[in-house]
């Protein structure tokens, strides 16, 4: 287990000052993203998830703490530097593309190496889009198709790490399920590592290997997805779990329940 993390943050801190108000958006956040794994970051709105992603991508600078890519520190570098190894996938895929540019050109411009038509063809088929989509403009695709195209762009760029910020939150249930399955497949096929941010613990539990639960800029719980879901230690994690169960979205917990059932809320309180 001496593997070097693909991406690591050590004690990241960031406080925002607005109109005399102080918000500690990141409070001593340390994560380790291991090769070929997906780390889920979950928490309610305003807990600091997007701020964490923006710092990892060097779109913001931390007050304190360090960033490492494969053991090399990159704290203080710019977004172009971070763009050599990571790509972001946003909730609104459509607006992340130039509306006047056909996908073929967008994808070519995003690639950091020589064009590789065979790889592009393979990637499109991986995400169940055919090559004719390359001639189309972003506005002509459905939300799910556009999100799949943005995943193709990210992988084709050569990125080793995908930062997905609420990437499935705007999609209907069927498209959401498809994108989750595709991300799992791409992780296996291309050994890509991902940080998957969501307010929905149900979604995270379907996809992620590890999970960090955030609240008010702090990490309240961090561990394997199985441990955190089956044996939540923090009351806030239990609240998130109960919320998932209440809306009847137990399917998301299936993978973990299969290995070990989630105790009923009352039993859990006794653990
Ligand atoms: N640029 C900014 N200026 C001031 N406050 C900010 C800024 N960005 C984020 N915040 C605050 O930091 C906190 C965390 O925000 P965010 O990371 O967007 O949360 P999440 O993505 O979990 O919903 C919130 O209270 C938010 O208002
Ligand atoms: Mg956010």
CA 71 to chain CA centroid, Å, is 21
At residue 20, the pLDDT reads: 87
Cα 164 from Cα 180, distance rounded (Å): 11
Looking at the CA of 29, name the nearest ligand: 1
Q: Using one digit for the tens of pLDDT, what is the confidence trace for 131-189?
A: 999 999 999 999 999 999 999 999 999 999 999 999 999 999 989 999 999 999 999 99
CA 240 to chain CA centroid, Å, is 18
Report percent pLDDT > 70 for the chain: 90
pLDDT class for 253, splitting at 50, 70, 90?
low
At residue 245, the pLDDT reads: 74
Residue 173 CA, ligand 2 centroid: distance in Å: 20
Residue 47 CA, ligand 1 centroid: distance in Å: 8
Q: Tell me the fold of 7-85+161-167+193-270.
A: Rossmann fold (3.40.50)
Cβ-in-10-Å burial (0-12, 13-18, 19+) of 247 comes to: exposed
Helices within 100-233 (DSSP H only): 103-110, 117-126, 143-156, 173-190, 201-207, 225-230
List residues bridging with 17 in a β-sheet. 22
Q: What is the mean pLDDT of the chain?
A: 90
* Phi, psi values for residue 261, rounded to 5°: -65, 145
CA 247 to chain CA centroid, Å, is 23
Residue 63, pLDDT > 80, answer yes
At residue 242, the pLDDT reads: 87
Q: Using one digit for the tens of pLDDT, what is the confidence trace for 32-55?
A: 999 999 999 999 999 999 999 999
* Phi, psi values for residue 51, rounded to 5°: -60, -40
At residue 244, the pLDDT reads: 82
What residues line ligand 1, using a CB cutoff of 6 Å? Answer: 16, 18, 23, 25, 43, 45-51
Report percent pLDDT > 90 for the chain: 82
Residue 268, pLDDT > 50, answer no
At residue 247, the pLDDT reads: 61
At residue 271, the pLDDT reads: 34
Best residue among 17, 20, 40, 51 to mutate for probing ligand 1's pocket (most ligand atoms within 8 Å of CB) is 51
Residue 197 CA, ligand 2 centroid: distance in Å: 8
Residue 225 CA, ligand 1 centroid: distance in Å: 25
Residue 21, pLDDT > 80, answer yes
Q: Output the CA–CA distances (angstroms, integers) from residue 26 to 14, 62, 63, 94, 156, in the order listed.
A: 5, 9, 9, 29, 31
At residue 1, the pLDDT reads: 59
Residue 228, pLDDT > 90, answer yes
pLDDT class for 248, splitting at 50, 70, 90?
low
Residue bearing the CA closest to ligand 1, atom 18? 50
Residue 147 CA, ligand 2 centroid: distance in Å: 17
Residue bearing the CA closest to ligand 1, atom 6? 16
Query: Among the atoms of ligand 1, which is closest to the Cα of residue 199?
Result: 22
Cα 64 from Cα 102, distance rounded (Å): 41
Best residue among 22, 23, 199 to mutate for probing ligand 1's pocket (most ligand atoms within 8 Å of CB) is 23
Q: Using one digit for the tens of pLDDT, what is the confidence trace for 104-124?
A: 999 999 999 999 999 999 999
Residue bearing the CA closest to ligand 1, atom 1? 16
Residue 113 CA, ligand 2 centroid: distance in Å: 31
10 Å Cβ neighbour count for 214?
Answer: 26
Cα 204 from Cα 40, distance rounded (Å): 6
Compute the average pLDDT of residues 204-221. Answer: 96
- Dihedral sign (CA 184, 164, 12, 71): positive
Looking at the CA of 167, name the nearest ligand: 2
Exposure of 236 in the CB half-sphere (CA atoms within 13 A): 15
Helix (H) or strand (E) holding 137: none
At residue 263, the pLDDT reads: 44
């Amino acid at each position: 287990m001496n593997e070097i993390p693909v991406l690591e943050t050590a004690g990241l801190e960031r406080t925002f000052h607005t109109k005399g108000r102080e918000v500690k958006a990141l409070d001593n956040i340390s994560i380790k993203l291991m090769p070929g794994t997906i780390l889920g970051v979950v928490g309610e709105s305003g807990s600091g998830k997007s701020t964490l992603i923006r710092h990892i991508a060097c779109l913001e600078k931390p007050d304190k703490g360090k960033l490492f890519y494969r053991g090399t520190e990159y704290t203080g570098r710019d977004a172009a530097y971070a763009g050599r190894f990571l790509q972001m996938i946003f909730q609104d895929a459509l607006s992340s593309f130039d509306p006047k540019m056909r996908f073929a050109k967008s994808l070519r411009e995003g690639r950091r190496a020589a064009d590789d038509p065979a790889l592009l063809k393979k990637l499109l088929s991986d995400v169940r889009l055919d090559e004719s989509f390359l001639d189309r403009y972003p506005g002509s695709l459905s939300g799910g198709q556009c999100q799949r195209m943005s995943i193709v762009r990210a992988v084709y760029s050569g990125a080793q790490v995908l930062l997905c910020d609420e990437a499935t939150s705007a999609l209907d249930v069927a498209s959401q399920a498809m994108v989750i399955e595709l991300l799992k497949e791409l992780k296996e096929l291309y050994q890509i590592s991902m940080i998957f941010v969501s307010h929905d613990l149900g979604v995270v539990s379907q996809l992620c290997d590890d999970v960090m639960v955030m609240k008010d800029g702090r990490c309240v719980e961090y561990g394997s997805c199985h441990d955190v879901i089956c044996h939540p230690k923090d009351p806030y994690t239990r609240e998130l779990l109960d919320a998932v169960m209440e809306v009847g979205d137990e399917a998301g917990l299936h993978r973990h329940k299969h290995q070990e059932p989630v105790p009923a809320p009352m039993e859990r309180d006794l653990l």
